[in-house]
Structure 1
């Protein structure tokens, strides 16, 4: 079995149906060539200053760069892309029926940006251990009842079976937690630069080994349920001045929006408020922010 590749004129429903079936999908030409070139130019100098990983999971011949929203404006192009943002909404913004007093209401969920990384896998790197990304929250399968994450990996350079293209086990999102993933069950993500792999948090995957003579560079991000703790701490990684320069939808996705009913509120002048007010009113921000 191989991963299904869709063209950029695919609909959100097309992506949703394939991911529901396989656990992941490739979208060809997700970014235009000019955006891709600018993204690469922004990130390469910063990646060149990053040290190698220190263990098997992060890689000892792999460079990883986080806090992408302070390194490139094109991080916003990825997270707000209609196909990625749209399919993440389909999986994540499900309503939960709850009682409040004498009424039973449908409480919607919202989304937030969980993790952001540029990942450069160099020749000689071994395969990353297979894992599910939603394990960061100790998520159970199928007891979780819903998806916690929709992740994307944009190919900045070509991904092949030989250069470390992400390995995925199609269908593994349906497994329970007793079944262990095996390397022989994986298929490589093979896609041209500017294409993207989109998968859900319950799908087993891992970075591939690089037996080629060139590095493989990708940019990954996640959109997660808004009521879970973010994997990457954007409040410490991104100066508030940087966040103020981003489009408001991105500010909200970075965590400056409370999750219904009001998880993540902040007190401003004695009022339980949406945290985004701290970006709009500099006088309300705590000193030193």
Structure 2
């Protein structure tokens, strides 16, 4: 059984990428600096205070999956400069995207970025593979559809519901079920992150404390897949115009030109790159 490896924030990116390729998951300590974490939490506080638990998904299975005691904040690029500048554009995400996803696409996108605040009484989430939101048959044509992370915004302990992850499970047959001794608990201080591939089994743990456990799930996917979060409707065009070009691209507002790779010319407006039209205030 593979162990859950830990790396410092200043570790060589190549070592982190190699460990994820081998084990399917790692922890990076202080993924966010204390200052970034504190600023982001301060931006989130009023947003979460205004939310009720599990607010109105039209699919009962989705509500059950997240749990009745969970508050969500989505569309983070619309609300937080810290999210855009320090998290969405994090250099490690760029390295993972270039290594695991670019071989199968012209570019990759943010699939979903949302904060999940799990309250006391939240139960164990079922172990699952994030990339199963798309047909499993895709796995026969490319090795990776997605990579993801959970960033601890409060301390993650076994008692508060730290993410459970199964190292090595990205190499298993789809039907293989994890034994209890194969499941690792990603205990880590606030600001750290557990990173994993889309095929790696994982799930939130039960919150047995009287405090909330706040974390952020981030994932990136192949650019020609439909994303879980409709980022183009989550962020206003006026807000998008203020963002760095790479952030605009990751949010799906650009053009996915994969013609030379056989992927098609996707996301055009009037046969042009929407980002050029946005910059010219033609949209």
Q: TM-score, normalised by structure 2?
A: 0.89
**Equivalent position of 1:12 in the other structure:** 13
**Aligned pair 1:66/2:74, yes or no?**
yes
Question: Cα deviations across residues 27-61 of structure 1 (Å, max 9, x unaligned)?
Answer: 11111111110000001211122221274301111
Alignment check: 8 A CA contact 1:141 1:177 kept = no
- Partner of residue 99, structure 1: none
State whether structure 2 residue 177 is matched by structure 1 residue 180. yes
Equivalent position to 2:153, from 136, 153, 156? 156
Residue equivalent to 1:252: 249
1:182 Cα deviation after fit = 5.0
Q: For 1:98-109, list aligned pairs within 5 A.
A: 109=106
Seen in structure 2, the aligned counterparts of structure 1 residues 265 and 213 have a Cα distance that, compared at 3 Å, is closer
Q: CA deviation at 1:179?
A: 1.7
Once the two structures are TM-superposed, the CA of residue 180 in structure 1 deviates from its matched residue by: 3.1
Q: Deviations over 1:219-261 (max 9, x none)?
A: 1211111111111001111111111111111001111222212
Whole-angstrom distance in 2 between the partners of 1:74 and 1:151: 19
Distance verdict in 2 for CA 1:88–1:233, change over 3 Å: same
Bigger helix fraction = 2
2: CA distance between counterparts of 1:169 and 1:249? 32
Separation of aligned partners in 1, 2:156 and 2:141: 32
| 1:82 to 2:91 alignment | yes
Deviations 1:59-90 (A, max 9, x none): 11111111011121121211211122212211
- Bigger mean CA deviation after superposition, 49-58 or 228-237: 49-58
Q: Are the equivalent residues in 2 in contact too, given 1:140–1:177 (CA < 8 A)? A: no
Aligned to 1:240: 237
**1:109-258 matches, cutoff 5 A:** 109-140=106-137, 142-181=139-178, 185-258=182-255
Q: 2:32–2:192: 8 Å Cα contact kept in structure 1?
A: yes
**Alpha-carbon distance in 2 for matches of 1:94, 1:156:** 32
Residue 103 of structure 1 is matched in structure 2 by none
Contact 2:232 2:253 in 1 (8 A): no
CA contact (8 A) 2:130 2:198 kept: yes
How many residue pairs match? The answer is 269
Partner of 1:98: none
**Where does residue 28 of structure 2 map in the other structure?**
27
Measure how far apart 1:183 and its partner are.
Answer: 5.3
Separation of aligned partners in 2, 1:93 and 1:139: 19
Distance 1:167 1:141 in 2: 25
Q: CA 1:142–1:111 in structure 2 vs 1: closer, same or farther (change >3 Å)?
A: closer
Structure 1: gaps of 5 or more residues: 96-107
Aligned residue in 2 for 1:277? 276
Q: Which residue of 2 aligns with 1:102?
A: none
Distance in 1 of aligned mates of 2:162 and 2:137:
27
Question: What is the RMSD computed on CA atoms of the aligned residues?
Answer: 1.7
Query: Matches of 2:215 and 2:116 in 1, distance apart?
Result: 5
Q: Deviations over 1:4-39 (max 9, x none)?
A: 110111122111111111111111111111111000
Instruction: Note closer, same or farther for the CA distance 1:140–1:208 as it changes in structure 2 (3 Å cut).
Output: farther
- In structure 1, the partner of 2:44 is 43
